[in-house]
Amino acid sequence: MQLSAFGEKFAGQSGIVELMTDLGEALNENPGMIFMGGGNPGRLPEVEAIFQQRLEQIMSDPARRHSLFGIYQSPQGDREFRQQVAAFLNRQFGWDLGEQNIAVSNGSQSAFFVLYNLFAGTMPDGSHRRIHLPLAPEYIGYGDIGLSEDFFSATRPSIELLDDHLFKYHVDFSRLKPEDDVGALCVSRPTNPTGNVLTDAEIAHLDEIAAAQGIPLIIDGAYGLPFPNILFEAAQPHWNDNTILALSLSKLGLPGVRTGIIVAREEIIQAYTNANTIVSLACGTLGPALAKALFETGEILSLTRDHVTPFYRQRSAQTVQWFRKALAGLPYRIHKPEGAIFLWLWFEGLPISSQELYQRLKQRGVLVVPGHNFFVGIDEWAHKHECLRVSYAQDADVVQRGVELIAREVRLAYES
């Protein structure tokens, strides 16, 4: 068949397609695989019980049940839900938000598809703009989302070597000088894939740079503040009229309901809503219906504080210890775990590429994600091929077995 340029780009293979195919096969079709690849959250029984209770309440009320299944919502999202989210953010942080500053998306990925292409690509005057990533590596799902080529640029990070086989990326502000062809800056916080949490000072500096350029700063908070709050370092949420804050219900334990939340000034929300109407027609209803009361009562804070954050903090520390024991004697480093649900491994001087290591591990029954996929907008750099992203969200015994198999294959690679 003859595909359009759009068809060739979006129907082809990419890192995110490979990742999600692996995820689907491992979690649905081949449960014997040790899944340490995609961003599927862990199972927290206490949190699942809360969502079950909310769903049972909805299903027992005919009017609410009909609203859930039988009525289109606004393309901007359920109005009452947007009001509750805005009121919650105002109470917690003193922000001046109304329902007009909130939009709901069918998952964060679809939200970023619309947002990125609103600000970058071919401009009305025929010029071309790009999204700039101030800190790479960044989220694999960004890489193929643009409707035009040469869609991203990025700044290579500085690397700080720490004790105990740790290291940390930093935004290299000496190199960060966005050109006139940049349409927006974007960072994830905590960073997917590394778990790096940009400091409040770094975020403020990025905000200043974006404002000086007359472009928005987009913050992907899918793992971050104020929910699901998978952070192990002190940090404050950031929003102002020049910031677009993208949030998600997925890492609370609701990846299947595909609910993203966008916080931005009114004109950006309106532009997003118009585009989203064309792309998605309307927003899903299940996520807002389940979470509405959590924002109204503030229960979302106790849910994250008492269950979500402690689970991942403990599991992160434990997995680091497993890796230290299993990788002893090898030239490895782990990015300082500051949040999210991953560890980022760096094997300096790895004799094979991370892609080949990924393939070897897949043959052993362990799924990870090769690091080169995350260096969106970065030209050739040997470091790209020496890294792996590893999830620690699955059951502890599964993660421990995966750690041992990863270490065994890495050791073989260095010894061969």
- Return the DSSP state at 100: G
Indicate if the alpha-carbon torsion angle 69, 277, 143, 263 is positive or negative: negative
CATH 3.90.1150.10 domain range(s) in the chain: 5-47+303-415
Enter the pTM of the model: 0.93
Can you give the pLDDT at residue 24?
61
Pinpoint the alpha helices (H) of 155-245.
200-213
366-367/121-122 β-pairing: unpaired
Element (H, E) at 116: helix 108-119
Mean pLDDT of all residues in 103-127: 93
Can you give the pLDDT at residue 144?
85
Q: Please report which confidence band the pLDDT of residue 137 belongs to, taking 50, 70 and 90 as the band edges.
A: very high
Q: Provide φ and ψ at 66, rounded to 5°.
A: -65, -40
**For 56-97, what is each residue's pLDDT tens digit?**
999 998 998 898 888 888 889 999 999 999 999 999 999 999
Can you give the pLDDT at residue 14?
65
**For 256-313, what is each residue's pLDDT tens digit?**
999 999 999 999 999 999 999 988 888 889 999 999 989 989 899 999 999 999 999 9
Tokens linked to 234: 């002190």
pLDDT at 4 over 90: no
Surface-to-core class of residue 71, CB atoms within 10 Å of its CB (0-12 exposed, 13-18 middle, 19+ buried): exposed
Rounded Cα–Cα distance for residues 246 and 261 (Å): 6
Percentage of the chain with pLDDT > 70? 93
Can you give the pLDDT at residue 19?
57
Residue owning tokens 């294959």: 409
CATH 3.40.640.10 domain range(s) in the chain: 73-297
Tokens linked to 143: 């890489």
Q: What is the residue-averaged pLDDT of the chain?
A: 92
The CATH code that applies to domain 73-297 is 3.40.640.10
Can you give the pLDDT at residue 369?
93
Mean pLDDT of all residues in 86-109: 95
Q: Please report which confidence band the pLDDT of residue 25 belongs to, taking 50, 70 and 90 as the band edges.
A: low
At the topology level, CATH places domain 5-47+303-415 in Aspartate Aminotransferase, domain 1 (3.90.1150)
Q: Are 320 and 334 in contact (CB under 8 A)?
A: yes
